[in-house]
A and B are shown apart, each in its own frame.
Chain A
Amino acid sequence: MPRPELQFSKKRVRKAGEILRSMSITPDQIEEVAEALTIAENWRACHSYALQRATMGLRSRVMTSTGERGDVSQRLKRIVTIIDKLHREPTMKLDTMRDIAGCRAVVPTVGAVRLVQRQWQKSFQADRILRVNDYIKSPRSSGYRAVHLYVIYDDLPVEVQIRSHLQHAWAITLEQIGGRLGFDLKSGRGPQEILDYFALVAEAMAIDESGDDVSRELAVSIKAARLKIQPFLESTQHPPTSSR
C-alpha cells in the first residue's frame, strides 16, 4: 500500500487541533475550520501505514506468544472523537495525540495478555515503546482493565490494546449500554449509579478471572448497585439524547 504523505507541516497540524478545539465559529472562520478539518483528516490518514504495520506486528506476537490467532483488529479514530478529546483535554495537541491509530487483540485470559505484552517488550526496540499503561495492575476509575502499549512505527504512535475475553466483554457491554443511554460511559460521563455498577462488576470479574472468590461484601454491593441501575435500563426504549 502506498504510504500517505503528510501535506502540511506539523505546526499546522497542531494549529488545526487548536481550531477544532475552539469551534466557536463566526462566518469568516468557516473556511479556516474547513481547512482545519481537512488537515486533521490528512493527519489521521498518515497514521494508516504505521497502524497497518502495528496490526501485523500484533497478530504475529499474539501467535508467537500464545500459539493462537486471537482476535486482532485495527481502527483509525473517528474525527468527532478526536475533536471531543481536544475539548476534554485542554493540554492535548493534535500533532502529538497518541491514539489516533489503534489496534486491539482479544486473547483468552489475563495470562495470555501478559504473554503478548512481554513478547512486545522482548521483541521491540525499547525506545520505540513510548509507554505502557497497565490497567490490570492499576485499573481506570471506570473499572476498565487491559494493557495498552504505545509503540512507534514510521515515527508515528500507535496504541496497542491487549484484553482478555472477560475484560473485553466488560468493555463492550459498557459501550453498548452507553450507546443505548446516550452517555460516554467509558470516559466516565453518565449517571453515577451506572458508573458505580460497572466499576464494581469489573472488580468482581477480575477476581473471578484470577480464580479467587468474590467476597460477600462485594457480592452484596453489586446486588444493591444492580437494583439502582434498573430504572435506567428500563428507560432505554427511548432514543438516547446524544452520542459520540
Chain B
Amino acid sequence: MAQESLKHFLLVFDHKSASIQDIQEFGEDTEVAVAAYSETERRYTHDQMIEVVLIGSDSLDTVKRTHANYFDGTVALSKYLIDL
C-alpha cells in the first residue's frame, strides 16, 4: 500500500456552545501546524471554555470519527449510550 499522507487539522472547540468554532487545515506541513497550535493555544489561554487541539489524520472524515467528541452526530452504538 502506498504511504498515504498525514494532514494536520487545528480545531478550536467552544465548550459554551459545544461546537467547533474553527478548523484550520495545514496539509502535511507539520512544522507550520505545530507552530500554529502553540500560537492559537496562547491566544485562548484566558478562556477556559475554548479547547484548541491539533489532530493529524488522512482526512477530516477520519478525525470526525476518531475524535468524535468534538463533532456532533456520533452514532450511539450501544443502547446504554442512547439519549444521554
Enumerate chain A interface residues (CB-CB to B < 8 A): 1-2, 4, 41, 44-45, 48-49, 51-52, 55-56, 59-60, 63, 71-76, 78-80, 104, 106, 165-166, 168-170, 172-173, 175-177, 179-180, 182, 201, 204-205, 208, 222, 233, 239-240, 242-244
Contact = CB atoms under 8 A, between A and B. Distances in A.
A45 B34 contact: yes
Contacts of B74: 169, 172-173, 176
Given A169-B74, A169-B76, A205-B78, A73 B31 contact: no
Given A63-B1, A168-B68, 18 more contacts: A4-B31, A56-B6, A59-B58, A71-B62, A72-B66, A75-B53, A75-B56, A78-B53, A165-B77, A169-B81, A172-B74, A173-B84, A179-B15, A201-B81, A239-B16, A239-B49, A240-B15, A242-B48
Given A48-B34, A76-B37, A106 B65 contact: yes
Interface in B40-76: 41, 45, 48-49, 51-58, 62-63, 65-69, 74-76
A57 B61 CA distance: 20
Contacts of B65: 71, 106
A222 B80 contact: yes
Interface residues of B, number: 42
Contacts of B78: 166, 169-170, 201, 205, 208
26 contacts: A4-B31, A41-B38, A45-B34, A48-B31, A51-B56, A52-B30, A59-B58, A72-B62, A72-B66, A73-B55, A73-B56, A75-B54, A75-B67, A76-B37, A76-B54, A165-B77, A170-B78, A172-B74, A176-B74, A179-B15, A204-B80, A239-B16, A240-B15, A240-B49, A243-B48, A244-B51
A11 to B, nearest CB: 22
A173 B31 CA distance: 32
A190 to B, nearest CB: 14
A180 B54 contact: no
Interface in B4-49: 4, 6, 15-16, 18, 28-31, 34-35, 37-38, 41, 45, 48-49
A74 B37 CA distance: 14
Given A169-B78, A173-B84, A74 B34 contact: no
